[in-house]
Structure 1
Amino acid sequence: MSREQPTIGVLALQGDVREHVAALNDCGATAVAVRRPSELHAVDGIVIPGGESTTMSRLLELVGLLDPLRARLAQGLPAYGSCAGMILLASDVLDTRPDAHHLDAIDITVRRNAFGRQVQSFETDLDVRTINGPPMRAVFIRAPWVERVGAGVEVLATVPDGPAAGRVVAVRQGAVLASSFHPEMTGDRRLHELFVSMVRVGSGG
């Protein structure tokens, strides 16, 4: 594990694992799948991909990763969550199952499936703070949005127009980054580059 080429895990219980692995490798990291606690201990950062958040929370408990992941996040492990990953990283989740787990890694309240059903999935262009260049094409699939942002959380992007205009869809708090959308699906690596740079800062060489 090094500052220049950090090892970043992708939680591989469900979701867009291969796409995130490819994006991280393109950004100069060494990406590995994480399915068990021993693999979690070997990484400098973790990506929690999209998928179905309640299923993922049950699988985290089933494979014995829930408590170890919570512990490492509490110790400052850099993390990025997209879509369901944002839900799992949140401190509070609305419209979810009462037995669903979340990781309390970023001080936000998210509303699960806030944009509606799969048929209401959409794409739009977003201006993302701290990311240079043209707007980022964002893919939303049964996505959450952020309803409350804690005092220490930076809002990186909001929906520019339409019925959901102004809704918060990307946030950062310290070493934790989260987005409602799926950057791994578009070929635009800038959000992954941001996360890899965050991991490099946190890895300590």
Structure 2
Amino acid sequence: KAIAQHYENKLITLEDGSVLMGSIIYQSDKEVIIRDSSLGGKERKARMDKVQRIKPMPSLMPAGLVDQLATRAEFLDLAKFVSVLGKPGPYANVESPVIRKWAVASSESAKIPTREESWQTAYSLVNGNLPDHELGNLKMAFARGFVEVRASGPIQLKLNGTQGLRLWLDDKEIKDLSSAFELRPGTRRFTFSIDREARKSKGLRVEITPAPASEARFQPKGGT
């Protein structure tokens, strides 16, 4: 049975025989960073050329979760959800750096809402897709996510289509969504405007990857 990524613990064995245990918060071809549960959640990193193997450990999902369910219907819903985790489809596990936590707003206008109360929190599915039904019922929707950048460098976006999308990085519009662009260290704000008619109910999935030879290191806030 597959375990939802955010609850999955990893055991990383290095070539010198030492081990790291915990949840991976960043991984690339060059390095892996783990929140080590044996050190109280301290971040540790290792070069990938020093990693001998990475294997899953027992789930971090809270024990006694079933005991907290109030009705049989809730239990059946949970059982159905767990049964499809890891299988192809909307609940497939994804270990790519995707934005999962969003602030969303909707409007009849193409102008980005400025009132804080216009924005509501929404979350992507396990496969990284923010469903269309989370985007409201108006013509235009807006989705805002944040990425913590540890080291600067060019990155690329993998989107589930660019139809009906515009993107602002902080306050600057990114005109070409298919080309690489630079990320600077700090917390960067990604704001998408979404023409819902043009998107045709596709929702929004945003995966961020380093461009070839890039030294960029980053982590979407709210999970990978």
- TM bracket, shorter-chain basis: under 0.3
Q: Which has the higher helix share?
A: 1
**Structure with more relative contact order (C-alpha pairs < 8 Å, separation 6 or more):** 1
- Structure of greater Rg: 2
Q: Which has the higher strand share?
A: 2
Q: TM-score, normalised by structure 2?
A: 0.26
Q: TM-score, normalised by structure 1?
A: 0.28
